[in-house]
């Protein structure tokens, strides 16, 4: 039986990580994998996470199963964090999932059950897991333009024009903030236009929010998803705690299905629980418990918010410093987008050959589409990267 299996292509980012590890140069720079790193190159455990784990270790007296939706305290805390008061809690069905990826997978499965013929529209480009999961589930898929490659800013006219081609009942996957891989984001005015189009063409938004707190702040980063949830009749939201709580390996995410028709909440909730049951029964609890412990304790929450804000400000500082250094070296404003973009990533707009040259000649590793992880930089490596970018003719 196993001989029938096809070879799977290597994951490009994991292959890049391996190549980086094997590179003997001491001045090599890793801007590849999408995890936050501090100035010393470490991905720290956040203070509040450590404190919450200690508290859980001291107080937890059972590791029996939770419910199929996970711990209700986690669900409530996350609905509050993501949605604030945008929609009544009674209209939100929510289940804990293994990471944001698990939420996306379950969200797509829910769509497949409810609207089997719906085409899922993805931004071009998007996080590669999106098309990969949609394809694996055998769902119809289409792309909408998202980026002007030359600048690289949002190609809003292209996006709107392409979404005009969607049929009623289709699903549009949108990044709630900090678009991955481009770093280019819609303004709130543009979100309002997208929402109007969704309503006019009867399209269902599926918002993926994996970086709340990494862009303009916890509240500002949630503004778009809240606007969507309060204005459209129905929407699906997948949120991840991997980045903003720094608990990548704990696999902590949440899937929400929102309907303005409160009679539907119970049915949506039962279907989400059903999907959890089919896939893994109970969702992982440890990360969810850490998050709930932090969000339900005023001191821990304040400390978490303070550390998250330091992380965000640090990344903004790196963006500004890199843009300024490139302005100095190139004598132009063509890299100003780096300071305007938000989140952990930006796409430089380099060719695959230039990306390869950065790696071969300078030991600088980034994803082949020229996505760079801003958090992989520090004060010492910014001038090195800027000089290499200019040397490679980018």
- Interacting residues toward ligand PMP by CB under 6 A: 34, 99-101, 127, 175, 180, 208, 210, 240, 242, 248, 253
Q: What single-letter DSSP state applies at residue 55?
A: H
Q: 69 catalytic, yes or no?
A: no
Tokens representing 57 are 């270790």
From 208, 238, 323, 375, the catalytic residue? 208
Q: Write the DSSP string, 101-143.
A: HHHHHHHHHHHHHH-TTPPEEEEES--THHHHHHHHTT--EEE
Q: How far apart are CA 53 and CA 168, in angstroms?
A: 46
Q: How far apart are CA 210 and CA 178, in angstroms?
A: 8
Which residue, 100 or 376, has its beta carbon nearer to ligand PMP? Answer: 100
**Minimum separation from the CB atom of position 178 to ligand PMP (A):** 8
From 94, 243, 321, 357, the catalytic residue? 243
Which residue, 68 or 104, has its beta carbon nearer to ligand PMP? Answer: 104
**Minimum separation from the CB atom of position 130 to ligand PMP (A):** 7
Which residue, 209 or 394, has its beta carbon nearer to ligand PMP? Answer: 209
Sign of CA dihedral 298, 300, 303, 307: negative
**Minimum separation from the CB atom of position 181 to ligand PMP (A):** 8
Q: How far apart are CA 185 and CA 154, in angstroms?
A: 7
- Comparing CA positions, the residue from 378, 41, 383, 337 lying closest to residue 179 is 337
From 69, 166, 210, 224, the catalytic residue? 210
Which residue, 218 or 291, has its beta carbon nearer to ligand PMP? Answer: 291
Q: 127 catalytic, yes or no?
A: yes
Which residue, 175 or 341, has its beta carbon nearer to ligand PMP? Answer: 175
Sign of CA dihedral 272, 278, 279, 281: positive
**Minimum separation from the CB atom of position 61 to ligand PMP (A):** 29
Q: Strand 147-148 relative to strand 29-30: parallel, antiparallel, unpaired?
A: unpaired
**Minimum separation from the CB atom of position 291 to ligand PMP (A):** 12
Sign of CA dihedral 32, 38, 44, 46: negative
Q: List residues with catalytic annotation.
A: 127, 208, 210, 243
């Amino acid at each position: 039986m196993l001989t029938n299996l096809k070879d799977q292509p290597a994951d490009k980012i994991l292959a890049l990580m391996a190549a980086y590890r094997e590179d003997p140069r001491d001045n090599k720079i890793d801007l590849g994998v999408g995890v936050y790193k501090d100035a010393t190159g470490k991905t720290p455990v956040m203070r509040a996470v450590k404190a919450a784990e200690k508290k859980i270790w001291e107080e937890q007296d059972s590791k029996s199963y939770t419910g199929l939706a996970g711990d209700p305290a986690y669900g409530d805390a996350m609905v509050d964090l993501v949605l604030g008061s945008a929609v009544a809690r009674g209209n939100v069905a929510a289940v804990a999932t293994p990471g944001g990826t698990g939420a996306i997978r379950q969200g797509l499965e829910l769509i497949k059950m409810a609207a089997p013929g719906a085409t899922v529209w993805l931004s071009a480009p998007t996080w590669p897991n999106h098309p990969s999961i949609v394809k694996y589930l055998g769902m119809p898929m289409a792309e909408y333009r998202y980026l002007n490659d030359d600048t690289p800013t949002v190609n809003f006219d292209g996006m709107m024009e392409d979404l005009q081609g969607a049929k009623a009942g289709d699903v549009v996957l949108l990044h709630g903030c900090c678009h991955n891989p481009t770093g280019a984001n819609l303004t709130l005015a543009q979100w309002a236009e997208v929402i109007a189009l969704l309503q006019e063409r009867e399209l269902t938004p599926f918002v993926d929010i994996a970086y709340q707190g990494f862009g303009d702040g916890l509240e500002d980063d949630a503004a778009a998803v809240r606007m969507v949830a309060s204005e459209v009749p129905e929407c699906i939201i997948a949120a991840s705690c991997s980045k903003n709580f720094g608990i990548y390996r704990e696999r902590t995410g949440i899937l929400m299905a929102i309907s303005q028709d409160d009679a539907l909440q119970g049915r949506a909730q039962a279907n989400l629980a059903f999907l959890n049951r089919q896939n893994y029964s109970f969702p992982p609890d440890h990360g969810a418990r850490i998050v709930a412990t932090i969000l339900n304790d005023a001191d821990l929450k304040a400390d978490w918010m303070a550390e998250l804000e330091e992380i965000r400000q640090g990344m903004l500082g790196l963006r500004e410093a890199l843009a300024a250094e490139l302005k100095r070296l190139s004598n132009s404003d063509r890299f100003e987008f780096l300071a305007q973009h938000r989140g952990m990533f930006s796409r430089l707009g380099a060719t695959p050959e230039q990306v390869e040259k950065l790696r071969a000649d300078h030991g600088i590793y980034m994803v082949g589409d020229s996505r760079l992880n801003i958090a992989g930089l520090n004060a010492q490596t910014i001038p090195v990267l800027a000089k290499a970018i200019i040397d490679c003719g980018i």
